[in-house]
Amino acid sequence: MASVTPSYDRDGEHIGWQVAVRKRGFPAQYKTFRTKAEAMGWAAVTESEMVRGVFVQRTESEQTTLNDLLCRYSKEVLPTLKGGYREQSRIKALQAGLGAYSLASLNSSLIAKYRDSRLSTISEKTGRLVSAQTVKHELGLLQRAMKMAAIEWGIALPGGIPTAMVKKPSLPSARDRRLVDDEEERLLAACAEARNAWLRPVIIFAIETAMRAGEILEKWELDKETGNQEKKGVGLQWSDVDLKKRTAHLPKTKNGDARTVPLSRRAVATLEALPRNLDGRVFGVTYEGIHQSYVRACRRAGITGLTFHDLRHEATSRLFEKGLNPMQVAAITGHKTLQMLKRYTHLRAEDLAKLLG
């Protein structure tokens, strides 16, 4: 049964109405309202939910703001994730837009408004509109944090996880740039003319293995808070290469899982021709050192619109064209789902026609 009693302040002034709902099998519920009608309405809804077996304890979700949740997620979860530092900018954006709301008050309408607002915001970093991919990552982070709150931290969300009901921004079509005609020969010829002697073997190795730039080369990134360059990847190490077995082991990858990449004969020949660095790196150059050389080589070769990451697209597609099945290709490239793999795979119709006989 619910009881509604007047509530007074220290001076004896009437300030509202306190409700107490007590029902066997449920924790007692208390709440104060300004009017008696609001108090009785809340009591009726709460009792009805208890009777129907759909009652959810709201106290903690009402007292926890999204800002509180994201701070906890940042401290307890991000340090355990590979590349978790990338989530900090997304957390700041979510806190700025939705941080003041309690978890109980967050709904799909508020999140949809946040999505639309972000898509019309100019990024301080790029000077352009915030991309749909960026907003999708932010909503994904919000969903993971709220799921953690509900499942691991025991914070009941009365309306469930609202992000599941919000339409994600439409992404632009996946890049389908591949090497065409004699572009590979022209590119490698231009690389051979480069001052950077590492450029040509790096390009060949990328095409042969489908490895990411950060898996091949040492990589550095600017820490916005400190203004210092920080090493984010050590690149491929000789200690992880077995030329006899024709494998390269990657103990740390972007998705957090280790994997071992099989090496083609061309990849092995490329490695065998390299000088050995005293620091253990296979390629004695950073990604930053390769990038500008690569851009200039493409310019000399008359090749436009081909990014370094497109070489991973090219390599992945060639694996399928050689007849490997999706599971085999995923084991090489490190993609976790077929949908992710599909975005990097662009098969030529003429090559598929040859397989048909």
* 51 three-state secondary structure: helix
Q: Could you give the dihedral angle defined by the CA atoms of residues 346, 349, 355 and 357, in that order, rounded to the nearest 10 degrees?
A: 180
Count of CB atoms situated within 10 Å of the CB of 86? 14
For 175, residues 6+ apart whose C-beta sits below 8 A from its C-beta are 307, 310, 313
Contact 221, 232 (CB under 8 A): yes
Whether 212 is catalytic is yes
**What is the distance between the terminal CA atoms of the chain, rounded to a whole angstrom?**
78
Whether 128 is catalytic is no
> Which one from 23, 249, 309, 343 is the annotated catalytic residue?
309
For 70, residues 6+ apart whose C-beta sits below 8 A from its C-beta are 91, 94, 95, 99, 145
Whether 23 is catalytic is no
Cross-strand bridge partners of residue 259: 250
* 18 three-state secondary structure: strand
> Which one from 212, 281, 313, 318 is the annotated catalytic residue?
212
Its sign, for the CA torsion 64, 68, 70, 73, is negative
Whether 294 is catalytic is no
Whether 73 is catalytic is no
> Which one from 34, 168, 254, 266 is the annotated catalytic residue?
254
Whether 342 is catalytic is no
Pairing mode of beta strands 247-250, 259-262 = antiparallel
Q: What is the DSSP letter of 101?
A: S
What phi and psi values does residue 6 have, to the nearest 5 degrees? Answer: -65, 150
Cα(279)–Cα(34) distance, integer angstroms? 71
Pairing mode of beta strands 229-233, 241-242 = unpaired
Closest CA to 213 of 253, 181, 158, 242: 253
Contact 214, 233 (CB under 8 A): yes
Catalytic residues: 212, 254, 309, 312, 335, 344
